[in-house]
Amino acid sequence: MAEPATRDETFPLLRTCPFAPPPAYGELREAGPVHRVTLQSGQEAWAVTRLEDVRQLLTDPRFSSDRFNPGFPILTKTGRPQRRRFTASLINMDPPEHGAARREVVGEFTVKRMKALQPRIQQIVDEHIDAILAGPKPADLVSALALPVPSLVICEQLGVPYADHEFFQVRSSTLLNREVTQEARVQAVEELQNYLDELVTAKEADPTDDLLGRQILKQREEHGDVAHDELVSLAFLLLLAGHETTANMISLGTVALLENPDQLEIIKNDPGKTLDAVEELLRYFTIAEFATSRVATEDVEIGGQLIREGEGVLGLSYSGNRDEAAFENADQLDLERGARHHVAFGFGPHQCLGQNLARMELQIVFDTLFRRIPELKLAAPADQLPYKHDSSIFGLYCLPVTW
């Protein structure tokens, strides 16, 4: 086995262009499938660069998702999170607990369930576009559309009052920010968890017809009581993952479409192609690339490299999504390429639970936005927009548009 190459750069590497991965990803991928890298915290980890190997990493049960394992690669400045009362959410769990916990809720996210939500999502999108058209120019598409649409949808689905949106949006944004202090992060987590703790307690007294209320009734029927702390942790994960991610894809996707008018024409001319376009935009931006890290629980060989038990691995999903071996002209935005094998939603047992919801929201937003405001344009140059380089999830803080 060849000596692994060690890289000088400190991970996470940042995007220097909003439409492309950090330039070193391409060099790393060319140089080999697996590299030894250093993280901001000083910790060492392996970086897996090719799509096929990222998929293997994410499906091999010998790799763990437990963020509290001392070998798990931590990409924030503040270091490893501490185990707290409400931390056993799906994303941190391993088999067999993970599969059992996921089966409890997977029925809430089926394609059929999402289809039933379609008219309501369409209504929410239309109302927000009505308000944009009635309001001043330029408008900020993030606060006027990209953030409220997925926030409202996940609130209604979970049974969280949307009136509290500012409270949870501010705290979510703080805890996703990789640059904040440990104190600020802990405070944001605790405030959000206390809020959801109270909400779940209220629903236990009076179960409402929403995801949390239905989980309470289901658990009482099947197990006799409610796993309160686990439900609070689940609500926390869903609320966070349910709005920040999709919001960023809406704003980035809009910029990419406006910057590539020939591509935008494709979906304007045939909305039947929007779903494929959404897959390509997901691949093109891979906004949650840091979610696909793991730690080895046994010695495992991946891409010809031996990873030892206890060592951390970064599954570089953004690199995998630009792997020429999997996507021809991978750096090009090509809405018609059929990009379904991307790993922007992860892969394997932890693959995004909300992907059907995210796809539907993105499809409805892009179709409706460009149909109702066909002359939409950026009100600032794309390279001067405030991109979220400091967040665990890439996106935009605001997006001035006019028409």
Residues of this chain that interact with ligand HEM (CB under 6 A) are 58, 65, 90-91, 102, 154, 237-238, 241-242, 245-246, 249, 287-288, 291-292, 344-346, 350, 352-354, 357-358
In order of 135, 155, 260, 321, the CA distances from 225 in angstroms are 49, 24, 54, 43
* Smallest gap from residue 294 Cβ to ligand HEM (A): 8
Amino acid at 359: R
* Smallest gap from residue 95 Cβ to ligand HEM (A): 11
| Integer Cα distance of 313 and 299 in angstroms | 12
Nearer to ligand HEM, 149 or 226 (CB): 149
Nearer to ligand HEM, 67 or 184 (CB): 67
Assigned token pair, 216 = 């309470």
* Smallest gap from residue 292 Cβ to ligand HEM (A): 5
| Integer Cα distance of 119 and 311 in angstroms | 47
Q: Show the CA angle centred on residue 166, arms to residues 160 and 171, nearest 5°.
A: 90
List CB contacts of 292: < 8 A, sequence separation 6 or more: 54, 57, 58, 314, 315, 316, 317, 343, 346, 347
Nearer to ligand HEM, 3 or 49 (CB): 49
| Integer Cα distance of 141 and 147 in angstroms | 8
Which residue's CB atom is positioned nearest to ligand HEM?
354
* Smallest gap from residue 33 Cβ to ligand HEM (A): 19
| Integer Cα distance of 318 and 299 in angstroms | 25
Nearer to ligand HEM, 35 or 283 (CB): 283
* Smallest gap from residue 58 Cβ to ligand HEM (A): 6
| Integer Cα distance of 401 and 399 in angstroms | 6
* Smallest gap from residue 353 Cβ to ligand HEM (A): 4
Nearer to ligand HEM, 184 or 341 (CB): 341
Nearer to ligand HEM, 29 or 243 (CB): 243
Nearer to ligand HEM, 316 or 357 (CB): 357
* Smallest gap from residue 61 Cβ to ligand HEM (A): 13
Assigned token pair, 402 = 């006019």
Assigned token pair, 45 = 């980890």
SS3 226: coil
